[in-house]
Amino acid sequence: MPLTAGNSCCIIIPIMAGRAGKHRKSGAVSTGTLIKRLLSDKYLYLMMLPGLAIVFIFSYMPMYGLQIAFKDFKIRDGILGSSFVGLKHFARLFTHPDGRQVIINTLIISINTLIWTFPAPVILSLLLNELNGKVFKRTVQSILYLPHFISWAVINGLMFGFFSITSGMVNKVLVSLGLPAVNFLSNPATFRQLLYLTSIWKGAGWGTIIYMAAISGIDPTLYEAAIIDGAGRIRRMLSITLPMISFTIVTLLILNVGNVMSSNFDQIYNLISPAVYSVGQTIDVFVYEQGINKMNYSFTTAIGLFQQVINFMLLLATNKIVRMMGSEGFL
């Protein structure tokens, strides 16, 4: 998992909290005590500054522009000078000819992607943990990581090479077997399946990093005791490994459910064509076309705000359901 501004702050803040806890006293903290605390931990605060600056610049400052979702934004008038129209642009999403369809497409693609792709890194991690030999295990892991570093533009070229109806490898095999060629890339019936397939191929190996890190923290004596009791590999996997990484699985599941109203824009935009717009045009693609190509800035800002509010509500609801089921949420 790459270290971004968000999770770097999450790593640094607990360290600082531990250090600051040594200085914490009951009652109000005087200005002198606060200054002493800042000076004593000055290097930790300096380490934290770049991450905070990135989060502030790219996550908080753009929030100022959210107000154009409630205005008829005109570039010449600026944000403050544009006229206020209330919820006009939010209502416009549901009255737009493509509005309902892009919401349905987003939900179908996101939910199915979650169902098919989320278990893949978990299963891969469990299998990798059973491999013997450090060199062999690292080699397999490296091979599984590689697709993550291939851009979706390149993957689009690979998909064309494999599934093109005229020169694709798969169709050449079908024709050689006396079967009819299938237009995989421009067929609405197969387009979504290609999205799920490429998502698993590109992301499953990279997703194992977090799970393998969680597995490495399991106490080896648990496996030794299980072996003495006669437990086989599958029993150890189901009774030790899987329960011990369940918190990590649940946490990532909650975060993934919190993105159901979003889709992988890079993937879909590179693979989509006019022939499959009816099943492939999602909210993110729609926002790009309306905002960048047609310059409907207020309309697309309203769509983006609606999208993220729904995602946030899904995140809270999923976390609540998980806690009600007896598992430990992360909020």
Domain hosting residue 174, numbered range: 87-324
- DSSP character at residue 328: -
Q: Cα separation of 169 and 83, whole Å? A: 56
C-alpha distances (whole Å) from 194 to each of 147, 200, 204, 246, 285 are 15, 10, 15, 30, 17
Return the percentage of the chain with pLDDT > 70, whole number.
90
Q: What is the DSSP string of 151-213?
A: -HHHHHHHHHHHH-TTT-HHHHHHHHTTPPP---TT-HHHHHHHHHHHHHHHHHHHHHHHHHH
Q: What is the pLDDT of residues 237-283, one digit of tens each?
A: 999 999 999 989 999 999 899 899 988 899 999 989 888 999 999 99
Check whether 43 has a pLDDT greater than 70. Answer: yes
Residue 186 lies in a domain: yes
**Co-location of 110 and 62 in the same domain:** no
Q: Do residues 295 and 273 touch, judged by C-beta distance below 8 A?
A: no
- DSSP character at residue 83: E
**Do strands 83-84 and 71-72 pair parallel, antiparallel, or not at all (unpaired)?**
antiparallel
**Co-location of 257 and 300 in the same domain:** yes
The average confidence (pLDDT) of the chain is: 86
- Count structural domains, the chain: 2
Residue 330 lies in a domain: no
Check whether 16 has a pLDDT greater than 60. Answer: no
Q: Which two tokens stand for residue 202?
A: 């590109």
181: CATH: 1.10.3720.10
Q: Cα separation of 67 and 277, whole Å? A: 30
Residue 329 lies in a domain: no
**Co-location of 94 and 202 in the same domain:** yes
Check whether 48 has a pLDDT greater than 80. Answer: yes
**Co-location of 47 and 133 in the same domain:** no
Q: Kindly report the pTM of this predicted structure.
A: 0.80
Q: Which two tokens stand for residue 95?
A: 């009255």
Check whether 21 has a pLDDT greater than 60. Answer: no
